[in-house]
Chain A
Amino acid sequence: MPIDALLLAGVLASAPVSSEPAPSESAPVHARRGPARWYETSLADPRRFSLAGHFEAQLIGLAFGLHGEFLYRPFRADRGANLRVGVSLAGGPEFFYLPLALGWRQHFVPHHRVTLELGAGYEQQSFFVPGLDPVTRSAFYGEGGVAIRVIEQGFIGTQVIMSWAPFERPGPGLGLRLGFRWNFGPRRGVKPGR
């Protein structure tokens, strides 16, 4: 092969394929290479976590209190599939109520301003009645709600929770929550809210 042909091949191989200019170092991540590939992020990436606090009313048995929950997105941090751990402490005229929950929460259209929430899981419900030993039972719960983005990483929302304890001490549960959820980590790279 002649030497000039070899030189031409070397120049072509080193030239950029695209005619677009190379991105500058100061450009934001999503502008340089499109939406971030969140599923490649660390399992401990803060963008996978949310924390929420609610006022809660239990309508069967009547009790009012506070509820807190911790959400973790195991698949993609920018999607709506969440593992949920929740705890409440409520009091009423007849008992104190302490449910511990482990379940699944799906946030539908999580990048929109209004997000639908649907979840289900297991709940260990404990009732503390003055004068009686604590009563505890296993239950399954389902929940549905709506959340509205009020700041970049924060939502206010309301949820309805239904539960059913099918085993030793059977019974239903019905509750309402109103509160705030905070998504950790910067929202940069996530689809903009609509």
Chain B
Amino acid sequence: MIRRRKLSTALLVVMLCGIGTSSHAHVPLIAGELVEIEQPDISHALYGTIVAPDDVFVIRLAYDEPFALPFEILVPRRKGLEDHRPAFAVVGPGLPPPLPEHADLLPRSIPDGQGVFLEANDASERLLIFESFTRRVFWSSGPIALALPAGEFEVWIFSPEGTTGDFVLGFGVEEDFSSAGCGGLLEDWSTYAY
């Protein structure tokens, strides 16, 4: 009987240890007026809320060598956000000048010698995704991979139609969760999840 009890305990310990298996996901961040990304190749999710119609969130990325970086912008699928279509613009060297129809949408003028890629997020049908880490459902602009040369870039997140509400900008490739502090994750949990 003692042997059986030991076997039961051992089984329990093995199963509990399985829960500790590590995994990878986007590193979550809270959007601010300006966010500097130290390791832009790592997969990030930038959570923010457009409160005023003219809000612009900026993230700054720097690359030592050319890099292909995927971007997508997400909006939580909620009835109140059906018309919320935040856009993002990647601004930096080696990108083309803005198209005339895009220039009017941009919240700021493009610095001399730089170009822009604009995701206006205006497709009639939006991609729907289930984010398994926070168990949330989002509308997505669809991931776009941009081939960027070495240099400094900014990503502007704004609302061309002046709508307000939550957004998540997903970008980066390499999955590395080591820089995400568990304490910060829990502290901002209500931002990421219900």
Binding site for B on A (CB under 8 A): 39, 58-62, 75-76, 81, 92-95, 103-104, 106, 118-121, 127, 129, 131-132, 135, 137, 140-142, 162-167, 169-173
Question: Which B residues from 11 to 59 make CB contacts under 8 A with A?
Answer: 11-12, 15-16, 18-25
Please tell me if the beta carbons of B132 and A169 are within 8 angstroms of each other in the complex: yes
Do A104 and B12 contact each other (CB < 8 Å), given the known contacts A95-B130, A170-B24? yes
Please tell me if the beta carbons of A95 and B137 are within 8 angstroms of each other in the complex: yes
The residue that B128 contacts in the complex, of A61, A92, A93, A129, with Cβ under 8 A, is A129
Beta-carbon nearest neighbor of A92 in chain B: B194
- The answer, yes or no, to whether B134 is at the interface (CB within 8 Å) is yes
DSSP majority for the A interface?
strand
- The answer, yes or no, to whether B108 is at the interface (CB within 8 Å) is no
With A and B bound together, what is the CA distance between A171 and B12 in angstroms?
22
Shortest Cβ distance from A35 into chain B, in angstroms?
13
- The answer, yes or no, to whether B124 is at the interface (CB within 8 Å) is no
Do A61 and B134 contact each other (CB < 8 Å), given the known contacts A104-B15, A162-B19? yes
Do A142 and B16 contact each other (CB < 8 Å), given the known contacts A95-B135, A127-B130? yes
Shortest Cβ distance from A84 into chain B, in angstroms?
11
Shortest Cβ distance from A50 into chain B, in angstroms?
16
Question: Can you pick out 12 interface pairs between chain A and chain B where the beta carbons lie within 8 Å of each other?
Answer: A60-B193, A60-B194, A61-B135, A75-B4, A81-B5, A92-B194, A95-B135, A95-B137, A104-B11, A120-B18, A120-B19, A137-B132
B11, B20, B132, B133 pick with most chain A CB within 10 angstroms: B132
The residue that A163 contacts in the complex, of B8, B19, B22, B25, with Cβ under 8 A, is B19
Shortest Cβ distance from B64 into chain A, in angstroms?
30
Do A166 and B23 contact each other (CB < 8 Å), given the known contacts A94-B137, A135-B130? yes
With A and B bound together, what is the CA distance between A99 and B132 in angstroms?
14
Shortest Cβ distance from B177 into chain A, in angstroms?
10
Number of interface residues of B (CB under 8 A): 30
Binding site for A on B (CB under 8 A): 1, 4-5, 8-9, 11-12, 15-16, 18-25, 77-78, 128-130, 132-137, 193-194
B24 neighbours in A (Cβ, 8 Å): 170
Closest 8 CB pairs of A and B: A61-B135, A120-B15, A62-B194, A169-B132, A170-B23, A166-B21, A171-B133, A171-B132
B19 neighbours in A (Cβ, 8 Å): 120, 140-142, 162-164
B137 neighbours in A (Cβ, 8 Å): 94-95, 129, 132
A142 neighbours in B (Cβ, 8 Å): 15-16, 19
Shortest Cβ distance from B6 into chain A, in angstroms?
11
For the complex with contacts A60-B135, A171-B25, 9 further pairs of A-B residues with Cβ separation under 8 Å are A58-B135, A62-B194, A76-B1, A81-B8, A119-B12, A120-B18, A127-B130, A132-B128, A166-B21
B193 neighbours in A (Cβ, 8 Å): 60-62
A163 neighbours in B (Cβ, 8 Å): 19
With A and B bound together, what is the CA distance between A16 and B132 in angstroms?
72
Shortest Cβ distance from A46 into chain B, in angstroms?
21
B5 neighbours in A (Cβ, 8 Å): 81
Shortest Cβ distance from B5 into chain A, in angstroms?
8
Shortest Cβ distance from A99 into chain B, in angstroms?
12
The residue that A166 contacts in the complex, of B15, B22, B135, with Cβ under 8 A, is B22
Please tell me if the beta carbons of A172 and B133 are within 8 angstroms of each other in the complex: yes
Please tell me if the beta carbons of B4 and A165 are within 8 angstroms of each other in the complex: no
Please tell me if the beta carbons of A170 and B132 are within 8 angstroms of each other in the complex: yes
Beta-carbon nearest neighbor of A103 in chain B: B15
B23 neighbours in A (Cβ, 8 Å): 164-167, 170
B8 neighbours in A (Cβ, 8 Å): 75, 81, 104, 106
